Amino acid sequence: MKPIQDHLAKGLNILFVGFNPSIRSSETGHHFANPNNRFWSILHESGLTPKKLQPEEDSDLLKLGYGLTNIVARPTKEAAEITREEYQEGRIELLKKIEKYQPKVVCFVGKGVYQQYSKKQKLSWGKQEHSVSKAVEYVAPSSSGLVRMKKADIVEIYKGIHTCL
């Protein structure tokens, strides 16, 4: 399985950070490509995109001022397969990307992603009071179909990103 390409540019409005690519994303070369993943519909329903994009359109997010990356590049079937060492290396790489590209907001797609990045265990949804980087750090629920939250509740949390821009 091979990693997928980041979509990064200087001065992004939002950089979305996932755990790592799924097997389906590795096969297709596109972010959030698993049909059970709700990322693209959540972005649209929260007003962050003008239409529901397809995974093949992931690079189009750059036109909207949004980027995509993961804390760990190695594709896996589930996040539980990621090692501590991979998280530590990924954390360092992510900090470098944030420093280099200077997004206004870094949106972590899942509490666990932010916990690995920040080393904080207690945190709430939304804008974080104390950022690790110079960017605004925002924690949103994972868009995985395995998440038990109602989609409408997840969309409401993503809507909060608008207040950070």
* Residue numbers annotated as active site: 20, 31
Helices 111-118 and 84-101, interaxial angle, to 10°? 90
Query: Among the residues of 39-161, which ranges form H helices?
Result: 39-45, 84-101, 111-118, 151-159
Place of tokens 């070369």: 29
Whole-Å CA distances, 28 to 35, 85, 124:
12, 26, 33
